[in-house]
Structure 1
Amino acid sequence: GARPDSPALLLIRDREGQAFGAFSASAIRSSSGFYGTGETFLFSFCPELKVFRWTGRNEFFVKGDVNLLMVGGGSGRFGLWLDGDLNHGGSQPCETFDNETLSHREEFCIQDLEMWGPA
Structure 2
Amino acid sequence: MMLAVKDTKGRGSFLWKAFKSSPQSRKKDAVKGFKYTGENEYFVMCDPDFVAIGGGRGKFGLWMKSDFLHGYSARCPTFNNEPLGLDSAPAKSDNSDTQQEFVVGHFEIWAFNT
Q: Is the 8 A contact 2:6 2:43 kept in 1?
A: no
- Report the counterpart of residue 14 of structure 2 in structure 1: 41
Q: Is the 8 A contact 1:24 1:62 kept in 2?
A: no
- The number of aligned residues is 92
Matched, 1:84 2:57: no
Matches within 5 A, 1:1-119: 20-25=1-6, 37-47=10-20, 48-103=30-85, 104=87, 106-117=100-111
Flag the structure with higher strand content. 1
**Could you list the runs of 4 or more consecutive aligned residues of structure 1 that deviate by over 3 angstroms after TM superposition?**
none
User: Comparing both chains, which one has the higher relative contact order based on Cα–Cα distances under 8 Å and sequence gaps of 6 or more?
Assistant: 1
TM-score by length of 1: 0.69
From the CA coordinates, give the structure whose radius of gyration is larger.
Answer: 2
TM-score by length of 2: 0.72
% identity of equivalent residues: 36
Structure 2 unaligned regions, length at least 5: 21-29, 88-98
